[in-house]
Amino acid sequence: MAVAATAPDDGSPQPWFTVGPLLSLSRLQEDTAWGVGLESTLNVAMHNNRMGSFKSGAVGVFGQAQWMDGDHARMCGGIQGNYLIMGLETGVAHETGTAAHKATTSLHLAPFLSFVYGSVGVRFSFPFDNRRDLSGRLPYGREIGLTLTLKKPFSPLL
């Protein structure tokens, strides 16, 4: 999730990079899952990021890596945009397989609210394939989750 950009006094657009911890609590069909990991963002296309402006916004890319429920990984990446404190991530997520679930690739959508050094959001994942594999394992299924991030911004990056 993006954070509000630190900007020079003249309000000129400045790319910025953030990195920090990511915590999540999700509902995957009948299961509840928790995750801990890292998220980073690179926002490069910005419009008037002066803190006092009502026209502040950015577009960039994000990447996430989490350890879920202590037994598998969830990786996600895509594009994001934000305007003032509201934003949206869209991308692809992949969860590795376990003895109970097959590896699953999903569409990732996550609206969020960003603050100076963090964000809170809701993520939705919709699997591309709902079929069992040859050993009978099911995919993880649809997900709805709460995410929290803390971020260290680095600006200007470029």
At residue 6, the pLDDT reads 46
What's the pLDDT score for residue 7?
Answer: 46
In this prediction, residue 152 carries a pLDDT of 86
Could you tell me if residue 125 is inside a domain?
yes
Host domain of residue 58? 16-154
CA–CA separation, 49 and 77 (whole Å): 24
Instruction: Tell me, yes or no, whether 77 lies in a domain.
Output: yes
Encoded tokens for 140: 């993880």
> Is 55 or 113 the better-scoring residue by pLDDT?
113
Report the C-alpha gap between 16 and 2 in whole angstroms. 10
Q: Is 84 part of any domain?
A: yes
Q: Residues in the chain, how many?
A: 158
Q: How confident is the model at residue 112 (pLDDT cuts 50, 70, 90)?
A: very high
Distance in angstroms (rounded) separating the CA atoms of residues 137 and 158: 46
Task: Kindly report the number of other CB atoms within 10 A of residue 55's CB atom.
Answer: 11
In a domain, 64, yes or no: yes
Q: Six-digit token pair at 8?
A: 């020079």
What three-state secondary structure class fits 132? Answer: coil
Supply the DSSP symbol for 6: P
State how many domains the chain has. Answer: 1
Q: How confident is the model at residue 4 (pLDDT cuts 50, 70, 90)?
A: very low
Examine residue 118 and state whether it is found in any structural domain, yes or no.
yes
Give the mean pLDDT of the chain: 85
Of 51 and 18, the structure prediction assigns the larger pLDDT to: 18
At 5 the pLDDT is: 46
Tokens for 103, please give them. Answer: 């590896």
- CA gap 6, 154 in Å, rounded: 8
With respect to residue 108, please indicate whether it lies within any of the assigned structural domains: yes
Please report how many Cα atoms fall inside a 13 Å half-sphere around the Cα of residue 44, on the Cβ side: 6
CATH for 105: 2.40.160
Distance in angstroms between the alpha carbons of the first and the last residue of the chain? 20
Domain membership of residue 1 (yes or no) is: no
Tens digits of residue pLDDT in 27-57:
877 788 899 999 999 988 776 655 555 557 8
Tell me if 136 is assigned to some domain: yes
pLDDT at residue 81 is higher than 80: yes
**Candidate from 24-38, 67-81, 86-100 with smallest mean pLDDT:** 24-38
